[in-house]
Amino acid sequence: MQSADGNVVTKPSSFRPGSDTPFIVGLSILSGTYVAIILAMIAADLAYVDADSIMSALRSKEIQYSIGLSLLSCSLSTLLSLWVAIPLGYLTSRFEFPGKRLLDTVLDIPIVLPPLVIGISLLALFNFAPFSWTSEWVVFEIPAVILAQFMVACAFAARAMRISFDQIPTRYEKVALTLGCNRSKAFWLVVMPQAKRGVLAAGTLAWARSLGEFGPILVFAGSTRMRTEVLPTSVYLEMQAGNLKGMLAISLIMIVAAAAVLVTSRLMGMKRLEP
């Protein structure tokens, strides 16, 4: 094509990048399928239980205790986990030091180890001082439940916090330093306020992980009813008894309890995070 002054001009660009529809559809199908399977699983569970088994489970003293202990121990282990995971995440995010890679590997161990091994390892650990001094009130007691949950939940929370801190640029801390902060003040006044969402995410991760954890608890704390029995232990005990309905009833209670706590904390968290 020729323009007015005789130069050759190509047509205005007829190149198109291609439709977005297949991409969006693909994403939707993949995510939708997974969500659908999860919901279908829960629906299948619902189909097997009846109101009777759920009511009798809720009425049972042992289950009530188990729910209470689960909520309490998960909350405590989450607080403990955050208490450790936040500084640990900040350390691994901001600082370089010899042996850092080794530290990262060590932090992955609780995630990789089979749950029963963690339980046995904790038991073995408490053979030695200074831990053995506290065997009396830890081993096979409630603190053992919290400790077992903490060991696994903290590893997950530390990972999440590290990623969270990685995403906060270091410029703010630098400015804070020049304005007169030491590293501690810079952390609390400038970094942490920005990490709120990350803390919430790590906290819910730790809580959820703690709720589902029971392998280490079985060996390290036992499954003593009205003492160290938590919800996943209750499910396991029902299964051992061959009581399918009871097992599913408690599982559903667990799902509801977990959903309630997680949704509430997200909502509350969101409210506070919004300006």
* Interacting residues with another protein (CB under 8 A): 48, 119-120, 123-124, 126-127, 135, 139-140, 169, 171-172, 174-182, 185, 189-190, 193-194, 218-219, 221-225, 228, 233, 236-244, 247, 275
**Would you state the structure tokens that stand for residue 269, as one six-digit string?**
């968290």
The alpha carbon of 241 is separated from its chain's Cα centroid by a whole number of angstroms, namely 30
Degrees, nearest 5: CA angle 234-237-240: 155
CB of 99 to another protein, least distance (A): 19
For residues 200 and 272, give the distance between their C-alpha atoms in angstroms, rounded to a whole number.
11
Give whole-number Cα distances, 97 to 92, 163, 172, 173, 242, in Å: 9, 18, 22, 19, 53
**Type of residue numbered 81:** S
**Would you state the structure tokens that stand for residue 116, as one six-digit string?**
């029963």
Positions of E strands within the chain: none
Nearer to another protein, 122 or 158 (CB): 122
Collapsed DSSP state (helix, strand, coil) of residue 2: strand
Nearer to another protein, 100 or 174 (CB): 174
Nearer to another protein, 23 or 48 (CB): 48
CB of 193 to another protein, least distance (A): 4
The alpha carbon of 14 is separated from its chain's Cα centroid by a whole number of angstroms, namely 50
CB of 260 to another protein, least distance (A): 27
The alpha carbon of 165 is separated from its chain's Cα centroid by a whole number of angstroms, namely 17
Collapsed DSSP state (helix, strand, coil) of residue 3: coil
Nearer to another protein, 83 or 137 (CB): 137
For residues 71 and 149, give the distance between their C-alpha atoms in angstroms, rounded to a whole number.
12
CB of 138 to another protein, least distance (A): 10
CB of 231 to another protein, least distance (A): 14
CB of 143 to another protein, least distance (A): 13
Nearer to another protein, 110 or 246 (CB): 246
Nearer to another protein, 73 or 228 (CB): 228
**94-112 residues labelled b (16+ CB within 10 A) or e (exposed):** beeeeeeeeeeeebeebee
CB of 203 to another protein, least distance (A): 19
Nearer to another protein, 120 or 257 (CB): 120
